[in-house]
Structure 1
Amino acid sequence: MTRFGYTLMTEQSGPRELVRYASDAERAGFDFEVCSDHFFPWLAAQGHSPYAWSVLGAVAQATERVGLMTYVTCPTVRYHPAVVAQKAATLGLLSDGRFTLGLEAGENLNEHVVGERWPAVDERHEMLAEALEIVDALFSGDLVSYRGNHFQVDSARLWDLPDSPVEIGVAVSGPQSVEHFAPLADHLIATEPKQELVERWDATRADAATGPSRKIGQLPISWDPDRDAAVARAHEQFRWFGLGWPVNANLPTTESFERASGFVRPDDVAASIPCGPDLDAVVEAASAFWEAGFTDLSVVQIGDERQQQFLDEGAGPLLARLREAAPADAA
């Protein structure tokens, strides 16, 4: 069956709250939990951005059953890929094998903080491909030296590894990124329900003689008993979402996102994000993902304000509706 996840949105909640939400989301019945990995929030109104890897370490101890995942980490500018490999292996151990490493080519918003230039998209894809090679080599437990066009590794080895290598998902948005990364990763990650991405991903992996993979999507919602309050919160904190990947990847600061999304109206947000208490509207939006071939879908409940109420009152009924509607052979 399709697996349904819960998003630990580091941009909108503090670290202690996130760990509590993770525990409550497991009790509510979610199958897995994903965690964003940011240095900045998208908009100042969100107001948070704790270190995702510390949060995940605590979540690994606060939960027992749910899968855990970064959604997603950029292993090229703010982090060196060798350090990402070490962090992921440690999470694999702390979670008893429940952790999946989700990777991406990154956003300027989070990566500019270390003072490096922000590369163009083709170069970012080259860097990510090299990072994947380094991470994969280190997961073997061997001593690794590497000389690439973008990264060097000098006699590195991971001393603490889980019994099975951590599986890797990569975020893709179009044909170029699929061709680059389908042979190098285990799973597809995407935020839009594009069937052509899934089909191209599977075809590319078949040509490379790789095994089956998960297709992991994400759906923002603004659950609230009061629809007007739900729309207002979604507009305040998530109006950047519709700007599109080319814009979101390149803007450098929260102020830039404030200005770029200044023309977005509450009605525009409500037309693209399910808002209010109507669970059928969430199911309808979610159905686009399994119809496109996605096997996993993580829900983002927008805003910290109603997060606990969503977990206490909304999550259980929503999961029941989603599982009733989803096809039994999705995964």
Structure 2
Amino acid sequence: MTRFGYTLMGEQSGPRELVRYAQAAEDAGFDFEVSSDHYSPWLVSQGHSPYAWTVLGAVAQATSRVELMTYVTCPTMRYHPAVVAQKAATLQLLSEGRFLLGVGSGESLNEHVVGQGWPSVDTRQDMLVEALEIIRALHSGDLVTYVGEHFRVDSARIWDVPDEPVEIGVAVSGEEGVRAFAPLGDHLIAVEPKADLIAQWDEAREAEGSQASRKIGQIPVSWDPDRDAALERAHEQFRWFAGGWPVNAELPTPAGFAAASQFVRPEDVAESIPCGPDLDELAESVRPFLDAGFTDIAVVQIGDEQQDRFLAEAAGPLLEKMRALR
């Protein structure tokens, strides 16, 4: 059965608002909630970027049913993997077993801020492999010393380890990522509905003798009673989306995203993001993910100004229509 989630979009909302939206999303019937983990928004027009882990700690106390997840954390640059392991264990305890750690190799936009440069994609993938090995080792509760090419851990132990292990989802986009991370992660995260990626992941997991896993995707929508307002908001705040992962991972600042997306037109945005009041159209946008074999799909409602109304008026009926597609 497909599960549908709500995205706590830290790039477009402040921390107190995000906690309020998390409560409303649970009340509206979403199955899980994912949080972005950025140091900066993609565009200045979005205007926010609070610390995701503090927000998630508050959300864990403000909700009682929904699963919580990072979508995604980069455990290699801003955060040492030993610190991510501690944060994830603590959040699992605070949420009473409702947390899933989503990780990826990161974006320059967020990771360059610590002044360590921005490695090549191959190096970033190698760093993520080591990070996952460290996180797994520390979540055992044992004393860990680790010496890798990129990371060292010296006599570290997590003292508050949850009885229920923290499951890990890994963002992958191609065959190389599948080979590297299928043995290390529990679940697949992807932002494009690629059926071949799902098949490769399942084959790799089966070859390792691993259990069946979830495939977690995400789609943006721009709901508004006024379609023109919905499209204008999507273009103003989400036109960066057109660049795709290979471009977006390399841009270091909102100014870079603004320059890269300056020629993206509203009609270009409308081709990839459903905009307006038609809930059937918005629901249909998840069909490619369903057809590709995704088990979990998180919805992004674009813009802060319509979040309350979206959650109060549109989210419940939209969930009914998306679930009917199954």
Does the alignment reach a TM-score above 0.5?
yes
2:220 is equivalent to residue 226 of structure 1: no
In the alignment, the residues of structure 1 paired with residue 171 and residue 282 of structure 2 have an alpha-carbon distance, to the nearest angstrom, of 23
Q: Which one-letter code corresponds to 2:289 in the other structure?
A: F
Count of matched residue pairs: 326
* Contact in 1 for aligned 2:141/2:157 (Cα 8 Å): yes
- TM-score, normalised relative to structure 1: 0.98
In the alignment, the residues of structure 1 paired with residue 188 and residue 81 of structure 2 have an alpha-carbon distance, to the nearest angstrom, of 19
1:248-263 aligned within 5 A: 248-263=248-263
1:116-131 aligned within 5 A: 116-131=116-131
Q: Which one-letter code corresponds to 1:196 in the other structure?
A: D
SS at match of 2:34: strand
Shift of 1:195: 0.3
Q: Which residue of 1 aligns with 2:199?
A: 199
Shift of 1:244: 0.8
Q: Which residue of 2 aligns with 1:133?
A: 133
In the alignment, the residues of structure 1 paired with residue 236 and residue 38 of structure 2 have an alpha-carbon distance, to the nearest angstrom, of 19
Q: Which residue of 2 aligns with 1:283?
A: 283
Shift of 1:284: 1.6
1:17-36 aligned within 5 A: 17-36=17-36
Which structure 1 residue ranges, 4+ long, deviate > 6 Å from structure 2?
none
Deviation per CA, 1:278-311, whole angstroms, max 9, x where unpaired? 1111222101101100000000000001010000
Q: Which one-letter code corresponds to 2:14 in the other structure?
A: G
SS at match of 2:168: strand
Deviation per CA, 1:77-129, whole angstroms, max 9, x where unpaired? 00000000000000000000000000000000000110001000000000000
Q: Which one-letter code corresponds to 1:222 in the other structure?
A: S
Q: Which residue of 2 aligns with 1:320?
A: 320
SS at match of 1:225: coil
Q: Which residue of 2 aligns with 1:144?
A: 144
Q: Which residue of 1 aligns with 2:55?
A: 55
1:1-331 aligned within 5 A: 1-326=1-326
In the alignment, the residues of structure 2 paired with residue 6 and residue 261 of structure 1 have an alpha-carbon distance, to the nearest angstrom, of 26
- TM-score, normalised relative to structure 2: 1.00
SS at match of 2:286: helix
In the alignment, the residues of structure 1 paired with residue 173 and residue 103 of structure 2 have an alpha-carbon distance, to the nearest angstrom, of 13
Shift of 1:8: 0.1
In the alignment, the residues of structure 1 paired with residue 20 and residue 69 of structure 2 have an alpha-carbon distance, to the nearest angstrom, of 17
Shift of 1:325: 1.2
* Contact in 1 for aligned 2:46/2:237 (Cα 8 Å): yes
SS at match of 1:7: strand
In the alignment, the residues of structure 2 paired with residue 236 and residue 203 of structure 1 have an alpha-carbon distance, to the nearest angstrom, of 40
* Contact in 1 for aligned 2:26/2:66 (Cα 8 Å): yes
In the alignment, the residues of structure 2 paired with residue 173 and residue 284 of structure 1 have an alpha-carbon distance, to the nearest angstrom, of 23
SS at match of 1:72: coil
Q: Which one-letter code corresponds to 1:73 in the other structure?
A: T
* Contact in 1 for aligned 2:284/2:322 (Cα 8 Å): no
In the alignment, the residues of structure 2 paired with residue 215 and residue 172 of structure 1 have an alpha-carbon distance, to the nearest angstrom, of 11
Q: Which one-letter code corresponds to 1:208 in the other structure?
A: E
In the alignment, the residues of structure 2 paired with residue 306 and residue 74 of structure 1 have an alpha-carbon distance, to the nearest angstrom, of 29
* Contact in 1 for aligned 2:187/2:215 (Cα 8 Å): yes
Q: Which one-letter code corresponds to 1:263 in the other structure?
A: F
In the alignment, the residues of structure 2 paired with residue 307 and residue 30 of structure 1 have an alpha-carbon distance, to the nearest angstrom, of 14
SS at match of 1:312: helix
Shift of 1:136: 0.2
In the alignment, the residues of structure 2 paired with residue 272 and residue 5 of structure 1 have an alpha-carbon distance, to the nearest angstrom, of 19
In the alignment, the residues of structure 1 paired with residue 16 and residue 34 of structure 2 have an alpha-carbon distance, to the nearest angstrom, of 16
Shift of 1:196: 0.7
Deviation per CA, 1:210-251, whole angstroms, max 9, x where unpaired? 111000000000000000000000000000011011110000
Shift of 1:166: 0.3
Runs of at least 5 residues in structure 2 that lack an aligned partner in the other structure: none
Q: Which one-letter code corresponds to 2:36 in the other structure?
A: S
Deviation per CA, 1:160-209, whole angstroms, max 9, x where unpaired? 01111100000011111111101100000011100011000000011111
SS at match of 2:223: coil
In the alignment, the residues of structure 1 paired with residue 211 and residue 80 of structure 2 have an alpha-carbon distance, to the nearest angstrom, of 28
SS at match of 2:285: helix
